[in-house]
Chains A and B, each alone.
Chain A
Amino acid sequence: MHPILKLVAQRLALGFLLLIAASVLIFAGTSILPGDVAQQILGQSATPEALENLRRELGLNEPALSRYFSWLGGILQGDLGTALTNGRDIAESLGTRLANTLFLAFWAALISVPLAIFLGLLAVRYKDRWPDKLISGVTLTTISIPEFMIGYVLIYWISIKFGWFSSVAIINDSMTLGQKLNAIAIPVMVLTLVVLAHMMRMTRAAILNVMQSAYIETAELKGMPMLRIIRKHAFPNAIAPIVNVVMINLAYLVVGVVVVEVVFAYPGMGQYLVDHVAKRDIPVVQACGLIFAAVYIGLNLVADIVSILANPRLRHPK
């Protein structure tokens, strides 16, 4: 087998293992922690019968290991269990919410990724001059404010003071794409701002790193113009680090979505998760937690595989 395929296969296997381990961790986090889970859920005033009922419902009387495997087995068959609070099938409730979350994340990514790479290039081109300094100043500010506060600041100024766009982002299936986009305009802006800073900083660093290589000097000493050097010599070597940066930040975006959805009352998975954490609805929390972890691990996996594929030493072995 080609060594590169072997490496990719290894990395995929590792990602799968990591996912299994993460599921153990999530399960353990909600099941084996000290304290009586049923008591926590029902509060101090619960009657012994109610506690016993809940324990049975959660299967708390069975050993943790067998509970874990029946949970995992269910998930592998697409059965995420039922919610404690309303008895509804979790997979069903999650379906549209996951779609909504991905819709929001997709538009945020569509705007932030090209913008970040463009600004990163700009910062490199004008390194240590005012565009670079301006960009890093703005970056520093957005890194220092939590995403929900960026959300309220934007609502306050854009939606309330200027009256553009809506301050809540409620969407449903009967809306046209245009209406939906209008509804999510401010949340998309918030998410963009949140990931833009990191992505831009990291892109800048990745490109600068490549530009300092000796082979760039060789190209300069061949009399090549700067743009041609970037296109022919810097770019092929910068793809892997940039893809890496983008993937890491998309993973970060997925987390940012949770908070932004709460701010804008957006009917996505993040809000669903937060609601049910407050209600201590453990099956929902476990399911959502696992899905978020899977997306996060998946994006990091893609980043690693791109790095492997882009490495000339691995692609063309001796």
Chain B
Amino acid sequence: MRIPIAALVGLFFTCLFFAMAIFAPFIAPYGMAEVVGDVWEPPSEQFRLGTDSIGRDLLSRMIYGGQTTIFIATAATALSFITGSVLGFFAAVSGGWIDQAISRFVDLIMSIPSLIFALVVLSVMPTTITILIVLMGLLDSTRVYRLARAVAVDITVMDYVEAARLRGEKTAWIIFREILPNALSPLVAEMGLRFIFAVLFVSTLSFLGLGVQPPQADWGGIVKENKEGINYGISAALYPAYAIAVLCISINLVADWILNRTTSLKGGRG
């Protein structure tokens, strides 16, 4: 099997970013919240990307910020996947009123845009990292649910699932042995897209001041902290944009490759 060049490039950068997140304390030249220089110093030998609005090393902020952003996005994606796909499979296999009840409830949640819903909830909840993860994970699980259910419904109408039922197999066997192996690849591809959405979502919340709170670094927050600099032609706020773009494009390339090898099902964004 040959992996196309685009997917290889995507794979490389994805691994790079994750490695940077995991080993952040060893790679970052300075501490996360350490004030080490003047305000908005230009890039130099000492500060590769310059310093930020209060004189912290921007490269270190970027690395630690990546850690926070990637961690939150990963955790939220994992949560949304576990919740969404378990419920989706369960609804598809059960059918009847169970399916109806879960599906209608998901329709309802999706009738309100995720960002608006998150803002409403965050107006009364404290903005801790745990709450962010749970909130994003649950909101996004609706999309995973829809995909998982659609894929599973397509599979449950197959004669081989009926054959397994007629054989007398238990529900668990049907889900894990007959459905899951056939549903895996579209779900894995979707996982990439959901992860991207989580990165964008948490960055947006932090940018609005309603996500990760300072002095903790994260990519959306770095934009917020340095946005005034833009007006003076200082590009500090743009680095997170480039980082997010590279990470998301890389994951997109990998996901596209996985998806192209299998099916055309995709979930939405927003």
Do A and B originate from a single complex? yes
Seen from chain A, the residues whose Cβ lies within 8 Å of a Cβ on chain B are: 18, 21-22, 25-26, 29-31, 33, 35, 37, 40-41, 140-141, 143-150, 152-153, 155-156, 160-161, 167, 198, 248, 251-252, 254-255, 258-259, 262-263, 273-274, 276-278, 280-282, 285-286, 288-289, 292-293, 296-297, 300
**Interface of B: prevailing SS:** helix
Are B249 and A141 touching (Cβ within 8 A)?
yes
Distance in angstroms between the alpha carbons of A73 and B122 in the assembled complex: 25
**Given A274-B208, A285-B123, A293 and B230 contact (CB-CB distance below 8 Å):** no
The 8 closest A-B CB pairs, nearest first, are A144-B248, A149-B241, A255-B113, A285-B123, A252-B270, A277-B123, A289-B120, A146-B200
Residues of chain B within 8 A (CB-CB) of A292 are 112-113, 116
Q: Are A278 and B209 within 8 A (Cβ)? A: yes
B231 touches A167 (CB 8 A): yes
Q: Which residues of A contact B114 (CB under 8 A)?
A: 255
Q: Are B124 and A258 in contact (CB under 8 A)?
A: no
Known interface pairs A251-B113, A289-B112, A289-B116; A276-B123 also in contact (CB < 8 Å): yes
Q: What residues of A have a CB within 8 angstroms of the CB of B270 in the complex?
A: 251-252, 255
Q: Is the CB of B124 within 8 A of A293?
A: no
Cα(A272)–Cα(B108), bound, Å = 25
CB <8 Å contact, B248 and A29: no
Q: Is the CB of B123 within 8 A of A25?
A: no
Tell me, in angstroms, the Cα distance from A216 to B121 when the chains sit together.
Answer: 49
B87-109 CB contacts (< 8 Å) to partner A? 107-109
Stretch of B47-55, B56-64, B148-156, B232-240 that contacts chain A: B232-240
Residues of B contacting A280 with CB < 8 Å? 123-124
A311 to chain B, nearest CB (A): 21
**Per-residue A-contact encoding for B252-270, CB less than 8 Å = 1, 0 else:** 1000000000000000111
Q: Which of B119, B210, B230 contacts A160 (CB 8 A)?
A: B230
Q: Determine the distance from Cα of A144 to Cα of B107 in the docked complex, in whole angstroms.
A: 26
Pick from A30, A161, A276, A297: contact of B124, CB below 8 A: A30
- B203 lies within 8 A of chain A by Cβ: yes
**Interchain CB contact under 8 A, A282 and B237:** no
List 20 additional A-B contacts (Cβ < 8 Å) besides A161-B233, A285-B123: A29-B117, A140-B249, A144-B244, A144-B245, A144-B248, A146-B244, A148-B220, A149-B238, A155-B230, A252-B113, A254-B113, A258-B115, A263-B227, A274-B208, A277-B120, A278-B209, A282-B123, A293-B112, A293-B116, A296-B112
Q: Tell me the smallest distance from the CB of A297 to a CB of chain B, in Å.
A: 5
Question: Does A145 contact B112, Cβ atoms closer than 8 Å?
Answer: no
C-alpha spacing A140/B246, complex, angstroms: 11
Complex Cα spacing A252 to B270, Å: 6
Nearest chain B CB to A116 CB, angstrom units: 15
| Contact (A160, B248) CB under 8 Å given A30-B120, A148-B223, A289-B112 | no
Question: Of all chain A residues, which has the CB nearest B247?
Answer: A144
By a CB distance below 8 angstroms, the chain A residues around B203 are 146, 148-149
Residue B125, interface by CB 8 Å:
yes
Residue from the set B120, B230, B235, B248 with the largest chain A CB neighbour count within 10 Å: B120
Tell me, in angstroms, the Cα distance from A156 to B242 when the chains sit together: 13
Within the complex, the shortest CB–CB distance from B145 to chain A, in Å, comes to 16
